[in-house]
Amino acid sequence: MIPLVAWRVGSQPFYTYTLLLDLGLLIAVAGLAVEGNRRGWSPAEVLEALAWALLPGMLAGRAAYAAGLGIPLWQGAPWGEGLSFAAALAGGALGLALLALVRRRSYWQLLGAVVPGLALGQALGWLGAAAHGVSAGAPLAPGTWWAPRLRDLYGTELPRFPVQYLAALASLAAWAIMARLRPGDRGRTAGYAIVVGVSLALLCGHVEQRQPLLAGLSFDQAVYSALALAGAALAATLALRQAGRRRTRGPHQELCRPGRGAAPPPCHPEWRGTAESGQWPGGHPSR
């Protein structure tokens, strides 16, 4: 089990939850900085994207968390406080949409730059949630061999459904898919939304203190389900657009598409023969 307290400053504890959440935030910021540099953004543009995603996200996440528990928005202790990740995602996406509208920047480029680092960072955040008991899974029978002993917010340690650990794995899976397939900005956004939305919507159904809000879904489940549906709609749009391009591509365009490892087609600049001779430079590769 992950320790509850990372260290103490005098009598004041510094919680592991806060440590891992801060490390995850640093990873997300570093990922955004790397993406911004790759895209030729200035430091001011990177900081602008960070501010418009982070501030609304933190405010929305904290407000939803405090409202769900019936506690003040900001308490006196700066360490150990929580937030709703689902609300933080929604707030950050809305903040980036406002940035794109106000500064006339591409919304898809902003999202595409944010989601790789976010996927890695949120994996650490979910491990921090496991350490602190946030979103603890429902208790299982004592004889359940695969159920780890996890604490809830009140410190009760029981064999539980590993919601936080599986959520961390889903976040890493979203990052791995983006790293392996290297899709465009819209493809990145769609992949992240589908993997994270579907997995977290299902996992939140096993949270112990789940409060049904809409059609039997909790607030977090409703947000994650909406995220998954939006990702599926975006993926379908991209697939239809790609299919339309293939249908409208003529035979000559299809012939002139560059092939990996293949000799250049007749319309290619390296073609030196004639239609009558059919000769390639150095002979046809099939000979």
- Cα 170 to Cα 176: distance, rounded to the nearest angstrom: 10
Residue 212 confidence (pLDDT): 82
Residue 286, domain member (yes or no) = no
Residue 284 confidence (pLDDT): 47
* Domain tally, the chain: 1
Residue 255, domain member (yes or no) = no
Residue 80 confidence (pLDDT): 44
Residue 253, domain member (yes or no) = no
Residue 275, domain member (yes or no) = no
DSSP 173-189: HHHHHHHHH---HHHHH
Residue 266 confidence (pLDDT): 54
Q: Which of 118, 120, 112 is nearest to 89 (CA)?
A: 118
Which residue, chain included where needed, has tokens 């035979």?
Answer: 251
Residue 1 confidence (pLDDT): 81
- CA distances to 98, 107, 110 from 104, rounded to whole Å, are 9, 9, 11
- 3-class state of residue 78 by DSSP: coil
Residues 138/160, Cβ–Cβ less than 8 Å: yes
Domain of 140?
A: 5-248
pLDDT in tens, 30-50: 999 999 999 999 999 999 999
The number of beta carbons lying within 10 Å of the beta carbon of residue 254 is 10
Residue 145, domain member (yes or no) = yes
Q: Which of 134, 185, 139, 190 is nearest to 164 (CA)?
A: 134
pTM score, two decimals? Answer: 0.82
Residue 273 confidence (pLDDT): 43
Residue 141, domain member (yes or no) = yes
Query: What parts of the chain have a pLDDT lower than 50?
Result: 76-80, 254-255, 260, 268-287
Residue 281, domain member (yes or no) = no
pLDDT in tens, 17-31: 889 989 999 999 999
Share of the chain above pLDDT 70, in %: 82
The number of beta carbons lying within 10 Å of the beta carbon of residue 160 is 25
The beta strand positions in the chain, using DSSP E, are 5-9, 12-15, 149-151, 157-159
Helix ranges (DSSP H) in the chain:
16-38, 43-69, 85-103, 107-132, 163-181, 185-203, 219-248, 251-255
Residue 259, domain member (yes or no) = no
